[in-house]
Structure 1
Amino acid sequence: MRSLSEIETTSKRASRALGYSWGISEEVGKSVRLLEMFNFEGIKNLNEYLNEKKDKKFENLNLINENNECSEFSYCPIILGVSFLDQIEKIEKIKTINFSKIAYPLLFLPFLSRSSEVIGKKIFFKFEKNEFLLNINVNISTNLLNKNCPNIANNVEVKILENNDNFTEQDWKSLYQLSEKTFVEETESLKKGAAGAGLTDND
């Protein structure tokens, strides 16, 4: 079994060999490592994309807006991912971002996961019937498990989710009332033994 370190290094070098800068190649290495760690087919998708890139053009998107329409070719998932990560604080204010077509969307996924960690919020990623929930770079939930991810994602939607409790106020109050049974009632002996008790003020 290949180590995560081997996966990251080889992915970085392969990306550099295909013309990406060392800086971007390092980001690719980190991203593929993350995919494999979360049990997604990072190596497979990167290998297929880099081989396809030899003979096919992909569009770079450097400035991300609310609605992003590619002119002719699908967006490069790597340049798009780096741009998204770099601009996440601005993108966070937009809330919902749309892309017309992204090549190899699985390669875009780890950049979203890392962006989620930067802003401390969950990110929802959807195209066709495929859904992903990225949780602060700790885990990724999806309905795509044990299925091959498509090589092209059409009508892509990315949502920045606000942090909300996953329970009702009534559930919280009920649980809190139970927790109060562990509180120790304050007595005179506790007051005397509390921090600062018995100290003499010499001023």
Structure 2
Amino acid sequence: MNFSLNEMEATAKRATRGAGYSWGQAEEASKAARWLCAQGLDGAGILSSLLERGLASDPATHRPGQIDRLWQGEEALCPLSAGPLLSDAAHLLKTSPIEMRNVAVPALMLPFARHAARILNEALTIEIDTVQNVVGEDWLMAPDSLPKTAHTVVVSRGGAPTATREQETRAYPDPQDWDMLNRYAHRTYAPATEESRLLGAGSGLSDND
């Protein structure tokens, strides 16, 4: 099973919205999932893992309480809250690393670290528990899989990759993950009405004579 990166992005966007996130967060999630797939990582599975956590039901408890010191929330940090903040607060890395605690699905932080690297025009190291990942604007050094929850995530300036991931032009999701994304995506579809069914069927009820 494989899909274009455009298909991956479109499905991820609707799935994230269907899971209860805002359209803005859905946009961020879809671009993040696409970028992970382009890096040869399991973007569909990574996003599915997050959506299954149900964090969108109480977003306030899953975002950092402050960004001028240790980033942590009342509950596990959601990468769709912490990630965009990392991009917006990239300037803070000029003075010290950013440390986060209890991060759900930390692999989703990698695309946002890439945005921060682009803003700063330099590589960044993102340490997920004991695993070091290095990201630049157009490349990534990371293992094939990362933990579903990280006790500590530390983002700092600099880093030299020993090897970067090969780029992919298509997404290769696991069928179960793809089905799950589509189930969430279907929640965004408006239910059919009698009028829409008739119009969609081309019944010819309108008289143009």
Would the TM-score normalized by the shorter structure come out above 0.5? yes
Q: Report the AA paired with residue 141 of structure 2.
A: S
Q: Report the AA paired with residue 69 of structure 1.
A: Q
* Structure 2 residue aligned with 1:141: 141
Aligned length: 157
Note the alpha carbon deviations across 1:80-99, whole angstroms, 9 max, x for none: 1011112223x233331111
2:152 to 155, 159, 169: 155
* Structure 2 residue aligned with 1:87: 89
Deviation of 1:131 (Å): 1.0
* Structure 2 residue aligned with 1:184: none
Note the alpha carbon deviations across 1:27-70, whole angstroms, 9 max, x for none: 11111000000011111011121022179866112742232233
Contact 1:8 1:29 in 2 (8 A): yes
* Structure 2 residue aligned with 1:172: none
* Structure 2 residue aligned with 1:20: 21
Note the alpha carbon deviations across 1:85-138, whole angstroms, 9 max, x for none: 12223x233331111110000111111112111220111011222110011x21
* Structure 1 residue aligned with 2:128: 127
Q: TM-score, normalised by structure 2?
A: 0.68
Greater C-alpha radius of gyration: 1
Q: TM-score, normalised by structure 1?
A: 0.70
Whether 1:59 aligns to 2:56 is no
Whether 1:68 aligns to 2:71 is yes
2: CA distance, partners of 1:47 / 1:108: 15
| RMSD between superposed Cα atoms in Å | 2.2
Distance 1:13 1:152, change over 3 A: same
Contact 1:7 1:33 in 2 (8 A): yes
